[in-house]
Amino acid sequence: MNPGKPTGQMSSLADQDDKKKSTKASRLDRGTRAKLGQQLRAMYDEVVSQGVPSRFSELLNGLDNNEGKQNAH
Amino acid sequence: MRIDDSTRQDILAAVPGLRAFAISLCGNVDRADDLVQEALLRALANIHSFQPGTNMSAWLFTILRNHFRSEYRKRRREVEDADGHYAESLTSHPEQHGQLELSEFRTALNKLPDEQREALILVGASGFSYEEAAEICGCAIGTVKSRVNRARTRLAELMAIQGVDDFGPDHETRAVLVGTRRG
């Protein structure tokens, strides 16, 4: 699946359900869709590029200690 | 609670994307991180129900999304601040090219109905297929497609870029059009 360009060709079975609703949407030109996609990914990647904050790596790595205790039981 | 090392790595690898998704749902970084934390704890408590070999990321997104809808949605945006705290906490270089556009984009995205916003993020940014997004959202593939289409159309309207080749330099005009608050 390429999330970048599915709306252009309305061919798959699943699309048929939504044909009525999406005819308007499918009029968006390629340039506009590309721009929106760019903005969306820029926004998302800004967060993704921050990596894993320590609270989450500590949460997951802390499981080792718990596991040790449980195993000792 | 026991998880093996590869499971731990798979979970850690999914965290940055989970945060980005959570922020788009909550509209607030601190609440989003709490949501991620709670989702991770739920996932770990139910790790036995994860099918090895299936998509860990999709599984975690499903848990986070369900938790958001059952617990967070009603609390969401009590302190709605689409262009304030949210943008500030993310933006390290406000003067950087594109940040103004991005800020407008966030404002527009926040105006979408939840269902449309989550579908668009999952498919357009998280890199999930329509099938995976449908599983995460618990709906039909056609429904996801329809939501994504409507989300794009609405965003284009809000950003006032429909039929325009480029976003162009006229930020002030668009800011007025989309009702962006500043300062």
- What does the pLDDT read at residue B41? 96
- B140 Cα to chain A: minimum distance (Å): 8
Please count the helices (runs of H) and the strands (runs of E) in chain A. 4, 0
Instruction: Identify the pLDDT of residue B52.
Output: 87
Contact B146 A39 (CB under 8 A): no
Q: Which residue from A minimizes the CA distance to B97?
A: A42
- Looking at every residue in chain B, the average pLDDT score rounds to 82
Position B27 scores a pLDDT of 84
| B-chain residue closest to A66, CA distance | B1
Q: Is the predicted pLDDT of residue B131 greater than 90, yes or no? A: yes
Q: Which residue in A has a C-alpha nearest to residue B93's C-alpha?
A: A46
Which of the two residues, B62 and B78, has the higher pLDDT score? B62
Q: Is B25 on the interface with A (CB under 8 A)?
A: no
The complex's ipTM? 0.74
Burial B143-169 (b: 16+ CB within 10 A, else e): bbbbbbbbbbbbbbebbbbeebeebee
What backbone phi and psi angles, to 5 degrees, belong to B166?
A: -135, 155
What pTM was estimated for this model as a whole?
A: 0.72
Nearest alpha-carbon partner for A42 in B178, B121, B65: B121
Query: What is the tens place of the pLDDT at every residue in B34-75?
Result: 999 999 999 999 999 999 889 999 999 999 999 999 887 766
